[in-house]
Amino acid sequence: MSENNHSGRPKDYAVCFRKDCPLAQSCLRQLTADEPCQDERYIRLVNPYLVKDATESCPFYRSNKKVRVAYGISRIFDNLPYSKHDYVFHSVQGCFGKSSYYRVYHKQRPIWPNEQEYIQQVFARNGITEPVQFEEYRDIYNW
Protein backbone atom coordinates (compact mmCIF):
# COMPACT_ATOMS: atom_id res chain seq x y z
CA MET A 1 0.00 0.00 0.00
CA SER A 2 1.37 3.39 -0.90
CA GLU A 3 2.17 6.01 1.69
CA ASN A 4 -0.41 8.79 2.04
CA ASN A 5 0.30 12.49 2.26
CA HIS A 6 -1.55 14.81 4.65
CA SER A 7 -4.59 15.18 2.34
CA GLY A 8 -5.24 11.44 2.23
CA ARG A 9 -4.31 11.24 -1.44
CA PRO A 10 -1.95 8.34 -2.12
CA LYS A 11 1.46 9.70 -3.10
CA ASP A 12 1.47 7.85 -6.42
CA TYR A 13 -2.05 9.02 -7.35
CA ALA A 14 -2.15 10.91 -10.68
CA VAL A 15 -3.68 14.37 -10.44
CA CYS A 16 -5.08 16.57 -13.21
CA PHE A 17 -4.64 20.31 -13.77
CA ARG A 18 -7.14 20.62 -16.61
CA LYS A 19 -9.22 23.54 -15.31
CA ASP A 20 -11.38 23.74 -18.45
CA CYS A 21 -12.73 20.20 -18.02
CA PRO A 22 -16.51 20.09 -17.51
CA LEU A 23 -16.05 17.33 -14.93
CA ALA A 24 -13.50 19.27 -12.85
CA GLN A 25 -15.91 20.19 -10.03
CA SER A 26 -16.58 16.55 -9.14
CA CYS A 27 -13.32 14.87 -10.16
CA LEU A 28 -11.09 13.59 -7.38
CA ARG A 29 -8.00 13.97 -9.58
CA GLN A 30 -8.79 17.65 -10.14
CA LEU A 31 -9.78 18.46 -6.56
CA THR A 32 -6.68 16.89 -5.00
CA ALA A 33 -4.39 18.67 -7.46
CA ASP A 34 -5.16 21.94 -5.72
CA GLU A 35 -4.06 20.67 -2.31
CA PRO A 36 -0.55 21.62 -1.19
CA CYS A 37 2.17 19.32 -2.49
CA GLN A 38 5.21 21.23 -1.20
CA ASP A 39 6.65 18.19 0.53
CA GLU A 40 6.53 16.08 -2.65
CA ARG A 41 9.49 16.34 -4.98
CA TYR A 42 7.62 14.66 -7.83
CA ILE A 43 3.93 14.26 -8.50
CA ARG A 44 2.11 12.11 -11.05
CA LEU A 45 -0.01 13.93 -13.61
CA VAL A 46 -2.63 12.84 -16.08
CA ASN A 47 -1.13 13.50 -19.52
CA PRO A 48 -3.08 16.52 -20.87
CA TYR A 49 -2.42 15.40 -24.45
CA LEU A 50 -4.54 12.30 -23.84
CA VAL A 51 -7.54 14.42 -22.80
CA LYS A 52 -7.37 17.13 -25.46
CA ASP A 53 -11.11 17.57 -25.88
CA ALA A 54 -12.98 18.77 -22.82
CA THR A 55 -16.06 16.56 -23.06
CA GLU A 56 -18.55 15.02 -20.70
CA SER A 57 -16.58 11.76 -20.54
CA CYS A 58 -12.99 11.28 -19.51
CA PRO A 59 -11.18 7.94 -19.13
CA PHE A 60 -9.30 9.34 -16.10
CA TYR A 61 -12.34 10.71 -14.25
CA ARG A 62 -12.75 9.63 -10.62
CA SER A 63 -15.82 10.73 -8.70
CA ASN A 64 -15.31 12.67 -5.48
CA LYS A 65 -18.29 10.90 -3.90
CA LYS A 66 -17.33 8.58 -1.07
CA VAL A 67 -18.29 4.91 -1.19
CA ARG A 68 -19.41 2.80 1.75
CA VAL A 69 -16.97 -0.04 2.30
CA ALA A 70 -17.08 -2.78 4.89
CA TYR A 71 -14.32 -4.30 6.99
CA GLY A 72 -14.22 -7.64 8.75
CA ILE A 73 -15.84 -10.96 7.92
CA SER A 74 -14.87 -13.05 10.94
CA ARG A 75 -18.48 -13.23 12.17
CA ILE A 76 -20.49 -13.63 8.97
CA PHE A 77 -20.40 -17.43 9.10
CA ASP A 78 -21.48 -17.72 12.76
CA ASN A 79 -25.20 -18.38 12.16
CA LEU A 80 -24.74 -20.41 9.02
CA PRO A 81 -26.14 -23.96 9.08
CA TYR A 82 -23.32 -26.49 9.23
CA SER A 83 -24.48 -28.19 6.02
CA LYS A 84 -24.01 -24.96 4.04
CA HIS A 85 -20.86 -23.69 5.69
CA ASP A 86 -18.26 -25.19 3.34
CA TYR A 87 -19.97 -24.09 0.14
CA VAL A 88 -20.63 -20.53 1.37
CA PHE A 89 -17.14 -20.20 2.86
CA HIS A 90 -15.45 -21.31 -0.37
CA SER A 91 -17.70 -19.05 -2.46
CA VAL A 92 -16.82 -16.03 -0.31
CA GLN A 93 -13.14 -16.96 -0.34
CA GLY A 94 -13.34 -17.31 -4.12
CA CYS A 95 -14.63 -13.75 -4.38
CA PHE A 96 -11.27 -12.50 -3.10
CA GLY A 97 -8.76 -15.28 -3.67
CA LYS A 98 -6.86 -16.84 -0.77
CA SER A 99 -4.32 -14.10 -0.07
CA SER A 100 -6.84 -11.26 -0.40
CA TYR A 101 -9.35 -13.22 1.68
CA TYR A 102 -7.02 -13.18 4.66
CA ARG A 103 -6.34 -9.46 4.21
CA VAL A 104 -10.12 -8.92 4.23
CA TYR A 105 -10.51 -11.21 7.24
CA HIS A 106 -7.92 -9.20 9.21
CA LYS A 107 -9.43 -5.83 8.15
CA GLN A 108 -6.36 -4.89 6.12
CA ARG A 109 -8.39 -4.47 2.92
CA PRO A 110 -11.88 -3.03 2.42
CA ILE A 111 -14.80 -4.97 1.02
CA TRP A 112 -16.06 -2.87 -1.89
CA PRO A 113 -19.80 -2.45 -2.55
CA ASN A 114 -19.81 -4.91 -5.48
CA GLU A 115 -18.08 -7.51 -3.28
CA GLN A 116 -20.57 -6.90 -0.47
CA GLU A 117 -23.40 -7.48 -2.95
CA TYR A 118 -21.80 -10.70 -4.20
CA ILE A 119 -21.51 -12.01 -0.62
CA GLN A 120 -25.17 -11.10 0.02
CA GLN A 121 -26.14 -13.06 -3.11
CA VAL A 122 -24.12 -16.11 -2.03
CA PHE A 123 -25.95 -16.16 1.31
CA ALA A 124 -29.34 -15.56 -0.36
CA ARG A 125 -28.79 -18.43 -2.83
CA ASN A 126 -28.22 -20.64 0.18
CA GLY A 127 -31.44 -19.67 1.93
CA ILE A 128 -30.03 -17.07 4.33
CA THR A 129 -32.42 -14.13 3.98
CA GLU A 130 -31.20 -11.77 6.70
CA PRO A 131 -28.60 -9.25 5.52
CA VAL A 132 -24.95 -10.07 6.08
CA GLN A 133 -23.55 -7.79 8.78
CA PHE A 134 -19.90 -6.93 8.40
CA GLU A 135 -17.91 -5.82 11.44
CA GLU A 136 -17.33 -2.23 10.45
CA TYR A 137 -18.39 0.26 7.78
CA ARG A 138 -16.56 3.37 6.55
CA ASP A 139 -17.18 5.98 3.88
CA ILE A 140 -13.99 6.46 1.86
CA TYR A 141 -12.84 7.89 -1.45
CA ASN A 142 -12.38 5.36 -4.23
CA TRP A 143 -8.89 6.47 -5.21
CB atoms within 10 A of CB 112: 15
User: To which H or E segment does residue 85 belong?
Assistant: helix 82-96
First to last CA, the chain: 12
| Tens-place pLDDT, residues 4-44 | 443 677 778 888 888 888 888 888 888 887 766 667 778 88
Q: Tell whether the model's pLDDT for residue 107 goes beyond 90.
A: yes
Residue 36 φ/ψ, nearest 5 degrees: -60, 135
Angle ∠(90,96,102) on CA atoms, nearest 5: 85
| Per-residue confidence (pLDDT) for residue 16, from 0 to 100 | 87
* Burial profile 40-74: b = 16 or more Cβ within 10 angstroms, e = fewer: eeeeeebeeeebeeeeeebebbbeeeeeebbbbbe
Mean pLDDT of the region 110-138? 93
Number of H helices, E strands in the chain: 4, 2
| Per-residue confidence (pLDDT) for residue 55, from 0 to 100 | 65
Q: Which residue has the higher pLDDT, 125 or 10?
A: 125
Radius of gyration for the chain, computed over Cα atoms and rounded to the nearest angstrom: 20
The span from the CA of 58 to the CA of 110, in Å, is 26
Q: Tell whether the model's pLDDT for residue 3 goes beyond 60.
A: no
User: To which H or E segment does residue 100 belong?
Assistant: helix 98-105
